[in-house]
Structure 1
Amino acid sequence: MFNTAEGQQAGAWRRAATGVCLAAAMSATWFAGAHAATLEGQQFEDTVVLGQQKLQLNGLGLRGVAWLKAFVAGLYVSTPSSDAASLLAETGPRRLRLKIMLQAPSSELTKSLLRRVKRHETPEAQARLADRLTQFAQQLDSLGELMPGDVVDMDYLPGKGLVLSRNGKAAGKPVVGDDLYRAVLQIFVGEHAIDPRMKQGLLGAPA
């Protein structure tokens, strides 16, 4: 989430992760055309190629609070499903794409995501993921100020790991482990998802 008041943008992503339901998303709909799908004016291709494999758009979800819209997320998978457990259990390439709609520092998104990982994962899993989460967090922080129109991709490539990029430019080396990607994806479609309405959209449910 973002705040329109000057000097309060630093808390924007933090507010986005509080789980507050948004009124705007209650009426949001996403429309699929012949070659693209659109939500809140943000267009997503129906398919993308990642690691030489064609992925299909599973769904779109809006993240925001009230009239403030932070980003639209799109999830690409090899086999679309409305079941979160099936999507989390996938081992093939996947892409989580965020189309930014409001200015905010990426460090606030980092804080939000890390808090959600702690909520989803057991202490043992957190310990196993700790070093790699730190690496991912450093890459996310390095993106700097996110601006409307920016595209942030969180890709999973089997045998390589999580690849973070902004506007097509990788933020660093892949961070290994499908368990890490699963931990990140759970933030969006897991039991304690950051936003229930966004989760349902990513699972392909009609608004």
Structure 2
Amino acid sequence: MSTIKIRKADFIKGKSLVLRNVVVADAAFILSLRTDPKKSRHLSQVSDDLGEQVAWISSYENRDTEAYFIIEDFHGVPLGTVRMYDARGESFCWGSWILLEGVVSSAAIESALMVYAYALESLGFRCAHFQVRKDNERVWKFHERFGAERTAENEVEYEYNLSNMAIEVSVNRYRRYLPYGVHVEEFLK
């Protein structure tokens, strides 16, 4: 079995959203999300030092093991973030999924569908794995409605697997949020 790799893409375009590769200029926006008291309570803590965020993104730009995106509307207005990482055989992990307060609820479904479309159709993955903090009930319930199965837990978080069949069922169930799939513009590197 060949190893599937996560590749960055310049843009992944969906029905009403775009996933755009993160660049250093996004550091202040990302830091504002990750240090927001309401949003950050379910995330690993980060320093509020903009320089550290810039350094992390600079390092990310040279890594070939993950893809980190700004979720935008078609006018280029940033709405959130999402990241793909930890490829294991045919499975990938995703997280750092943060949306601004007040963003339409369909943005969550569409951005999740876009991640799965890119991972399965463009990269060749078949399933996913991820962790969700136990106290982040809204998010773990979202994933369970999507078909994720809880496989383990510790004091802080639940671990999930999402099978290829569950992804396909959810893609069909929520097709109206991404009726034409995604259009991917990949890096030429």
TM-score (normalizing by structure 1):
0.33
TM-score (normalizing by structure 2):
0.35
